A and B are shown apart, each in its own frame.
Chain A
Amino acid sequence: MAYMVALALTVVRLSKRRPPMHGLNLVIILGGWLLQSIGLWMLGTEAASCPIRNPFEVLQFVSWSIVILYLFTGQVFRLSLFGTGSASLAAIISVAAYLIPGAAKVSSASLIGGDPRINAHAALALFSYGIFGLLAVLSVLYVLQNNSLKNKKNAGIFRFLPSIVDMDAVLMRLLVTACIVYTVSVSIGAQYWREHLDEVALPKLITTFALLIAYWLVLFLRATNKLLGTRLAWSCIGLLIAALLILWPVEASRGYGKDEPITSQSQP
């Protein structure tokens, strides 16, 4: 709700041709994030691990990651409307978590188990989803700014978007960070998978590595000046969509090789 309030506040300000209130927005987003943290902490206590036992918790964790990353990086990069964009994406993902039927089901197969490598892998992977999310938010802002400049639009939201050069620099930094964090996550997971190949579903392996390769490929193309500007931005948006879509095969692979009796509902 707090994330949606931040978005609504910005929309109202822009509709009155006034600049967004960055300070108030930050306080609202921070308040929402604290409430979300308390909810995830309660779920984590119940699970006795990172609260990512089902799609609902996974999406809430991704949403939470997006906002915490914004709260840290946003103050460094100081990009106008980045907070509103991040809060909007977090709100969309949180709402989606509530709308997916049966998303909050917790089964024994949902439990990650006691291996700390899998906990670390999963938490880091979803944290990297937060970076993917920020990349996509920034990419949307980039596309909007580029299109408005190309189409000679200067009124409304466009005047308050960050500059093309600033966004390009931050996109590169976030892309590098996303690749590193996701690679570390996959590397930790690979240690476990090597020893428990029978517990790992092939679709999950394929999609996970495909996503990893895709992000590194985009980074390589950007570094070699072959993927720049709006093409880079659209690639980042496309990759986030792909990343969210592959959560399905990943979720479906839970309990691969195990029995899965339903135990409870985790939705608070």
Chain B
Amino acid sequence: MPNDFPRLVTIGCNHHNTPLEVRERLALSADGVKQLQGELVKHGDIRESAVLNTCNRIEIYMVSENGNALDQVAEMLGSIEGFPVQEFLEHVYLHEDVAAINHAFQVASGLDSQMVGETQILGQIKTSYANATARKMVGPTLHKFFQKAFQAAKWARTETKIGTGQVSLGNIAVELATRIFGKLLVSRTLVIGSGEVGREVAKAFRSRGVACMSIASRTHERAEELSREVDGLVIPFNTWQDTLPYVDIGIFATSAPMNILDKETLKKALEKRPRKPLFLIDLALPRDIAADAAELPNLYLYNLDDLAGIANENLQNRQKEVDQCLSELQRKAQYTWKSMKLRGAAIGSQGD
């Protein structure tokens, strides 16, 4: 690491270099994020910071004044109970200064996303920024860093065609369900959890006229809210397993720290409905459904990686547009970096 300080640093792991089974071990709970934020605030060598924690990436943006940023982050993550620091270090990437800005622009624009061109990530970054601001972790450098990233994302969304032809997770899930059940008018759907991705997929199924939709969530209010949106029926969370033999499509999107549905339970449910296939969509990370359940006959299990892979099948049609966008974002990142230095944001002022 160069010796010129302070430096703008991004440290993280994402879906590009970290397999799903590792990502689910690296996923931080809400409490874990708070603890990490607390550690970052306390750290004497870190002037500003923010944490982005999604199902596909964990990234720490910071202005480091001294020392080895990676060692510092590893030490802080190590203080979180059960966090596999070694695995994190095996898959970690580190971007500094202009590279950190360029990376943030790509992330905010959805170009670094698993489903290239998606817009949900921008909302997630805004939430991370708002949380960090609320905790007074953000100073002038990261304020500018985030504002420029949001501008870059807006430019990419409105001035390029990176989102053209991009299909949503919901539409992909519905298309897969159609390949299994044909018309969905008699299909019964169960939604477990009420997170944003789960809601999007549930709405897609409702728009295609599934027969009925049951919703179970640990947070009853959120389940009620979703049930109003999709005209569904809220069932008590502790009874959803009993309904498994009677549903055709299951959408799982809880924030449970481990599997809530194992192969044996599914096997028993399938035995009660031998002629009917079961389509399960696991949108959670860590995954809600044991991966080995996919081996069961008559069961079609898809997780986030699977759906994203299908979504990107048409990426080659947009590749030229994506390449042009990446090139322009790089130019914008260079310009932002120079402007930050000129305005005395005290970043890498001795370097370059």
Contact = CB atoms under 8 A, between A and B. Distances in A.
A225 B176 contact: no
Contacts of A231: 297
Chain B contact residues: helix, strand, loop or mixed: helix
A228 B180 contact: no
A242 B38 CA distance: 71
Contact of B298 (A155, A158, A166, A229): A229
B181 interface: yes
B179 A163 contact: yes
A235 interface: no
Contacts of A164: 179-181, 277
A14 interface: no
A154 B310 contact: yes
Interface in A212-247: 225, 228-231
B309 interface: yes
Given A164-B277, A165-B276, A225-B275, A149 B298 contact: no
Interface string A67-106: 0000000000000000000000000000000000000000
Interface in A142-174: 145, 149-150, 152, 154-155, 158-159, 161-166, 168
A231 B182 CA distance: 21
Given A152-B310, A225-B275, A163 B297 contact: no
A149 B179 contact: yes
Contacts of A159: 175, 179
Interface residues of B, number: 21
Given A150-B300, A152-B302, A154-B310, A165 B180 contact: yes
Interface in B11-56: none
Interface string B149-176: 0000000000000000000000010011
B123 interface: no
Contacts, number: 48
B178 A163 contact: yes
B313 A165 contact: no
B306 A152 contact: yes
B76 interface: no
B277 A165 contact: yes
B345 interface: no
Contacts of B309: 152
Contacts of A161: 179
Nearest to B273: A225
Interface of A: 145, 149-150, 152, 154-155, 158-159, 161-166, 168, 225, 228-231
10 contacts: A149-B180, A152-B302, A152-B306, A152-B310, A163-B180, A164-B179, A165-B181, A165-B276, A225-B274, A228-B298
